[in-house]
Chain A
Amino acid sequence: MTENVNDTIMKMVKNLKASGQTEIVNNFQFAPLKRSISSSNSNESSFDEPTPLKKLKQESKLDLSYIGSPREMRRLRADLIEARNTILSLENRISHMHGLRKQMQLMFDEENQILKRQQDYDKKSIEELENQLQIIRKREADVKRELAEVNNKYQLLKIKTSEQVEKLEKSLEEFKEESRLIESEENSIIPGLERKIAELETMLEAAEEDAEAQKNLAVELEKQLFEKNAVQRDSEIKEQALQKAKLYIKELEYAKENVLEFQDQAKTQAYKLANYIEMEKENEQLKEENVRLKEEVRNKLLLEEEVYDLKNRLTKFKIQEKKLTDLQVQETQNAMYLNEWRAVARGICESTESDSALPHLLRSTVERLQQQELTLTSEKVELESQLKTVSHEAKVAKSELEKNLKLLGELKTTGEQKQSLIHRMQKKLLLVSRERDSYRLQLDSYEKDLTLCAITTTSSGSGPNQLQAQKERIENLERIVEGYRDMVNKLENDLQNAQPTAHTDTVPVRAEQISRLQDEVQHLKYENEQLRDRRDELEIQLESYLVGHDTLQGGQVLHLANNPLAECLAQRENLVDKLEQEVEKLKRKNKEHGGGN
């Protein structure tokens, strides 16, 4: 074995040397090409092969040292560098290609897997489809068979039905014959009816049976219902029991919790019990302390109360001290006033007696003075009343005086009037006496004429006519004279009437008349006013009764603010506004059009 091994190792060494030599020769001639080929070959072969190549490079480097000319060496070196660069770039490319190859392989693997999966899926689907196809074929065969059967059945049925039809036709004919027979035999109706009745009875029986069956069914159903109800009740009772049990469980749980709590508490209590004696001692101590503190508190309260009381008293004392000083001041003042008053009283009483008798004296003097005052006031009142009476009398006298003065004025005016009247009368009298004188003269002349005429009548023939005329004239004149006499008498009477009235005392009568007339005037004025008021009232009433005028006689007029009239007006206003807007719009448009033209 060992020999064999040694042989193989030897072989390997020899081979290596030989190959190394050949490659060195190659390296001289086509180093870059061979390597590129080898590298391209290595791509196809396994991935681990580049390592021996590298070893070869190292060997070639070592071999270059002994080659001759330096120019060749330089060229070779440049070549070598170039070759190395190309080797590096090729290695890069190789690694890149390896990466690509790996990616591609991965992709191919994935695609392969996908395709395999799809193939499996397709295979399955194909199998399924084949199965389906077979099933469908089977069904087709079945259906065909069924069709044949159905056709057979149909043929049979057809035959049967045709037979039946024939039979029925026959029976129809028979029936017809029978009916004809029945028609011929009228009596045969009764048995038919009887048959019908029998049939109906059978039907009735059947119905009754049915009813009984129904009843039985109903009874059974009721029983079932009852059973079911019982079952339901049982279940309800059970549910209730369950709930009760649940509640009981809850209670028990609660009790359990309570027990745990109680256990804890018992533990604490036991602990507390252990400390009880100490605590009791402490308690006693504390109680004693408490009593002591309470007593102290009580004492403190008492002291506080005392302090408060003393404070109050102090304030009161202060106030009273103030009052005391005030009162002392007042007292001194009062003593001064008293002395003054005493001096005054002594002055009034005009006595120099002791102070004790002074008030009595003063009182007596005061009383005396009061009495004096009383008498004086009474005298004064009397005098005042006298003054009043006197002044009243004076007023009366004044009024009388005024009246008398008025009367005097009136009398003067009347006297003047009368004097003027007398004057006028005298004038008239003068006129009248003159007239009388003239008339007397006339009369005398007439008498003269008359005497002359009487003389002439005796002498001439035309006497009776003249006499007649003169008589008439005389009568006329006498009448005139009579008239004048009457007038004179009347005037004289007037004069006489006027004279006595002027002299008599008519003043009081006139005053009465005047007052009466004044009263009348006032009364009439009052009536007038009343009538005017009434007229105004009536006018107002008339106005109120004027048709169509709705005047308010007190009170107010109310209406709903939202009445139909207001609404209507608002609508109308809106409409008017809208129309105005439209008009304006149209006007504007018109203007625009006008401007455009």
Chain B
Amino acid sequence: MTTAAQKAKSAITLKGSAEIVCDYLNYGINSILFQRGLYPPESFKSDENYGLTILMSTDNKIKEFLSTTLGQLKGWLVDRTVTKVALVITNVKTLEVMERWDFNVEYEGDANCGEQTSEKPLKQIKNEIRDVLKQIASSVAYLPLLDCLCSFDIQIYTKNDVALPSEWTEAEPANIKNAQSVKMRSFSTNIHRMETVVTYKNDD
């Protein structure tokens, strides 16, 4: 009885795992928006998480957009219909895709065994996420400077049998010409595995 209780205490459920992934995406995307200079730095406010100081946007429009998108994504992650989440940075003037941050989602464990739980300690997962976020923060060193007016979009790659919610539309996959890509570390909750890859336009 006590062991079961302890198990229940330390286990991560499918929903919890989706929550962790969405939290990571929220912090990661905010960090990218700050690091890549898409929005003025004064519109960001520092927030402490994963043992790091991450700058989060205070723009209400961005916050609302992210919360809507990630809320929908959470549902899809629970349904196992998402294969990839892409943050696409586009030049507003020429509509050219400058950068694409791919967050590839893989599902681990058996989906059919009822209540799926993970025994992986939360601290370890957070450490893994911290490493990825550090890499994202340091990616500024090699990514080319975005010296034009750019904006971003979040595209979610799903399987075929997904009903389109209201206010959502289908999008074209973003291709980058003359591209180069860098693979970051990945983290896993033993239910979802998330791999982060940045693909950017090579100026040379």
A-chain residues with CB within 8 Å of residue B65 when the two chains form the complex: 560, 562-564
CB distance from A551 to the nearest CB of B (A): 7
Given A547-B179, A559-B154, A561-B167, A567:B61 Cβ within 8 A: yes
A-chain residues with CB within 8 Å of residue B149 when the two chains form the complex: 568, 572
A558-B178 in contact (CB<8A): no
A-chain residues with CB within 8 Å of residue B180 when the two chains form the complex: 547-548
- Is residue A74 contacting chain B, with contact meaning CB distance below 8 A? no
A555-B157 in contact (CB<8A): yes
Q: Which of A554, A557, A563, A565 contacts B170 (CB 8 A)?
A: A557
A-B pairs with beta carbons under 8 Å apart, 22 shown: A547-B179, A547-B181, A547-B199, A548-B175, A548-B178, A548-B179, A548-B180, A549-B179, A550-B175, A552-B157, A555-B83, A556-B157, A556-B170, A557-B158, A558-B156, A558-B169, A558-B171, A564-B65, A564-B152, A564-B153, A567-B61, A572-B93
- Is residue A569 contacting chain B, with contact meaning CB distance below 8 A? yes
B160-A572 in contact (CB<8A): no
Which of chain B's residues 170-187 have a Cβ closer than 8 Å to chain A? 170-181
- In addition to A557-B156, A561-B169, A564-B151, 9 A-B residue pairs with Cβ atoms within 8 Å of each other are A547-B180, A548-B180, A550-B175, A554-B160, A556-B157, A558-B157, A559-B168, A564-B152, A564-B153
B199-A565 in contact (CB<8A): no
A556-B160 in contact (CB<8A): yes
- Is residue B100 contacting chain A, with contact meaning CB distance below 8 A? yes
Q: Which of B95, B168, B176, B179 contacts A558 (CB 8 A)?
A: B168
Q: Which residues of A contact B (CB under 8 A)?
A: 547-552, 554-569, 572
A556-B162 in contact (CB<8A): yes
B171-A555 in contact (CB<8A): no
CB distance from B166 to the nearest CB of A (A): 9
Q: Which residue of A lies closest to B100 (CB)?
A: A550
B86-A550 in contact (CB<8A): yes
CB distance from A31 to the nearest CB of B (A): 118
A548-B176 in contact (CB<8A): yes
A-chain residues with CB within 8 Å of residue B93 when the two chains form the complex: 572
Q: Which of B92, B159, B167 contacts A565 (CB 8 A)?
A: B92
A-chain residues with CB within 8 Å of residue B177 when the two chains form the complex: 548
The interface on chain B, measured as residues whose beta carbon lies within 8 A of the other chain's beta carbons, has a size of 44
Q: Which of B86, B159, B167, B178 contacts A560 (CB 8 A)?
A: B167
CB distance from B162 to the nearest CB of A (A): 7
A559-B176 in contact (CB<8A): no
Q: Which residue of A lies closest to B59 (CB)?
A: A564
A565-B153 in contact (CB<8A): yes
Task: Give Cα A548–Cα B177 distance, bound, in whole angstroms.
Answer: 6
Which of chain B's residues 5-51 have a Cβ closer than 8 Å to chain A? none
B-chain residues with CB within 8 Å of residue A549 when the two chains form the complex: 175-176, 179
- Is residue B62 contacting chain A, with contact meaning CB distance below 8 A? yes
B-chain residues with CB within 8 Å of residue A564 when the two chains form the complex: 61-62, 65, 151-153
Task: Give Cα A551–Cα B181 distance, bound, in whole angstroms.
Answer: 15
Please count the residue pairs between chain A and chain B whose beta carbons lie under 8 angstroms apart in the complex: 106
Q: Which residues of B contact A (CB under 8 A)?
A: 61-62, 65, 68-69, 83, 86, 88, 90, 92-93, 95, 100, 102, 149, 151-160, 162, 164, 167-181, 199, 201
B158-A555 in contact (CB<8A): yes
CB distance from B117 to the nearest CB of A (A): 27
A-chain residues with CB within 8 Å of residue B69 when the two chains form the complex: 559-560
A-chain residues with CB within 8 Å of residue B151 when the two chains form the complex: 564-565, 567-569
Task: Give Cα A556–Cα B158 distance, bound, in whole angstroms.
Answer: 5
B175-A554 in contact (CB<8A): no
B-chain residues with CB within 8 Å of residue A565 when the two chains form the complex: 88, 90, 92, 151-153
A557-B152 in contact (CB<8A): no
A548-B168 in contact (CB<8A): no
6 cross-chain pairs, A with B, having the tightest CB-CB distances, nearest first: A548-B179, A568-B151, A548-B176, A550-B173, A565-B153, A565-B151
Task: Give Cα A560–Cα B171 distance, bound, in whole angstroms.
Answer: 9
CB distance from A567 to the nearest CB of B (A): 7
A-chain residues with CB within 8 Å of residue B170 when the two chains form the complex: 556-558
Task: Give Cα A551–Cα B86 distance, bound, in whole angstroms.
Answer: 13
CB distance from A303 to the nearest CB of B (A): 72
Task: Give Cα A547–Cα B177 distance, bound, in whole angstroms.
Answer: 9
CB distance from A380 to the nearest CB of B (A): 60
B181-A569 in contact (CB<8A): no
Task: Give Cα A561–Cα B155 distance, bound, in whole angstroms.
Answer: 10
Task: Give Cα A563–Cα B175 distance, bound, in whole angstroms.
Answer: 19
Q: Which residue of B lies closest to A563 (CB)?
A: B153
B-chain residues with CB within 8 Å of residue A562 when the two chains form the complex: 65, 167
A-chain residues with CB within 8 Å of residue B62 when the two chains form the complex: 564
B-chain residues with CB within 8 Å of residue A563 when the two chains form the complex: 65, 152-154
Given A559-B171, A565-B151, A569-B92, A548:B157 Cβ within 8 A: no
A555-B155 in contact (CB<8A): no
B172-A557 in contact (CB<8A): yes
B-chain residues with CB within 8 Å of residue A550 when the two chains form the complex: 86, 100, 102, 173-176, 199
A559-B153 in contact (CB<8A): yes
A-chain residues with CB within 8 Å of residue B175 when the two chains form the complex: 548-550
CB distance from B60 to the nearest CB of A (A): 12
Q: Which residue of A lies closest to B102 (CB)?
A: A550
Task: Give Cα A184–Cα B87 distance, bound, in whole angstroms.
Answer: 98
CB distance from B109 to the nearest CB of A (A): 21
B-chain residues with CB within 8 Å of residue A556 when the two chains form the complex: 157-158, 160, 162, 170
B-chain residues with CB within 8 Å of residue A552 when the two chains form the complex: 157, 173
Q: Which of A551, A555, A567, A568 contacts B160 (CB 8 A)?
A: A555
B153-A548 in contact (CB<8A): no
Task: Give Cα A562–Cα B64 distance, bound, in whole angstroms.
Answer: 11
B159-A555 in contact (CB<8A): yes
B-chain residues with CB within 8 Å of residue A548 when the two chains form the complex: 175-181, 199, 201
Task: Give Cα A561–Cα B165 distance, bound, in whole angstroms.
Answer: 11
CB distance from A405 to the nearest CB of B (A): 60
Task: Give Cα A89–Cα B62 distance, bound, in whole angstroms.
Answer: 108
Task: Give Cα A561–Cα B65 distance, bound, in whole angstroms.
Answer: 10
A-chain residues with CB within 8 Å of residue B61 when the two chains form the complex: 564, 567
CB distance from A174 to the nearest CB of B (A): 79
Q: Which residue of A lies closest to B86 (CB)?
A: A550
A-chain residues with CB within 8 Å of residue B156 when the two chains form the complex: 557-559
B199-A557 in contact (CB<8A): no
Q: Which residue of A lies closest to B93 (CB)?
A: A572
B-chain residues with CB within 8 Å of residue A551 when the two chains form the complex: 173
B154-A557 in contact (CB<8A): no
Task: Give Cα A119–Cα B88 distance, bound, in whole angstroms.
Answer: 103
Task: Give Cα A183–Cα B156 distance, bound, in whole angstroms.
Answer: 100
B157-A557 in contact (CB<8A): yes
B-chain residues with CB within 8 Å of residue A569 when the two chains form the complex: 92, 95, 151
CB distance from B69 to the nearest CB of A (A): 6
Q: Which residue of B lies closest to A551 (CB)?
A: B173
Task: Give Cα A561–Cα B179 distance, bound, in whole angstroms.
Answer: 27
